[in-house]
Every structure is written in C-alpha cells, then in structure tokens.
Amino acid sequence: MRRVRLLVVLTGAVLLNFAVWPSIAGATVTPSPSTVTTSPPSPLDAVGCTGMLPTDQIENCVSILGDASYLESVAGSAYTHFGSVTGHEEITGPSIPNGHLNSSKVTITTDTTGPLVSWDPDGPVESGNYCAIFWQNVGGGYSENGPACEDVT
C-alpha cells in the first residue's frame, strides 16, 4: 500500500514537471496588484530507499530537493511493511550541522507518512553523500536500517 502511494506521488511529480509545467511556462501573465503569483511545485531531485522488498520490515528513504549550488531540503522517512518498530530517523551529510540530525524517538507503522526528520538549508551546501538511517531500538541498543544515500553535486 505504501509503495503504491509513493509511486503515485512520484509519478504525479514527474508528470507535473515534464508534461504540465512546460506547457504553462511560456504563458505571459501580467499580474494586477491583486493577483498572487506562485511558483510551481519543485520536483524532488533525488530519492533513495532501502528495504523495498515486501519481506523487509522497514523501508527507509532519503529525499533531496536541490543541488549543491542551492539545496532546499534533505528529508529522511521510514515506515514498515508489516508490524510496528520504535526508534529514530537520522540524516547525515557534509553540510548538516555536526554532520547529522536526529528525529525524536518514534514508533513507525505501515501508516506512517511524511518525513520523520528534515533539514532545510535553503542555500549552497558542500557536495557529497547525504543519507537517511532509521535506528531501530532493540534490547536497549540500536540496530541500523539503511543507510539510504544520494549524492548532492
């Protein structure tokens, strides 16, 4: 179910970017003082996931919007294919303060949606690998699920 939702969202973003936006981008609009001008939604520049098999309990993903010259956001998300899991999501990268950023402790399920942790620099960043890792709480310690990584250049 979650994979279908992710596929529908990504397909919609691609269609908007390549089919709809070019057809309206050439339109000339002269705004009046009462007209509100908005930008089109930005498609994700990179998405990487681990644990995508139905037999994997945890699917963990990193989403990148932008590039090294202007990075809008890095987000980490995770959900389960079955059952529930407690832990925290971490994103890492060369420009993230202290090299990493953690979510609070969460319980993820098959219904978990949206990023668990995100970083929004809205500016230039150092090129390199940006990753998301879900750390599952196991017997008082943590077990790593991931990392899901993408290069930002």
Render each residue's pLDDT in the chain as its tens digit; 153 residues: 444 344 333 333 333 333 333 333 333 333 444 444 444 456 678 899 999 999 999 999 999 999 999 999 999 999 999 999 999 999 999 999 999 999 999 999 999 988 999 999 999 999 999 999 999 999 989 999 999 999 999
Which pLDDT does position 66 carry in this prediction?
95
Quote the pLDDT of residue 42.
61
Which tokens hold the place of 2? Answer: 């979650």
pLDDT at residue 104, rounded to an integer: 96
Q: Break the chain into its structural domains and give their ranges.
A: 1-41, 44-152
d(CA 27, CA 45): 25
What pLDDT score was predicted for residue 29?
Answer: 39
120 vs 6: CA distance, rounded Å: 21
Would the pTM of this model clear 0.85, i.e. be above it? no
CA gap 95, 64 in Å, rounded: 13
Q: Does domain 44-152 have CATH number 1.10.3470?
A: no
Cα distance between residue 150 and residue 153, in whole Å: 10
Report residue 38 CA to chain centroid gap.
Answer: 23
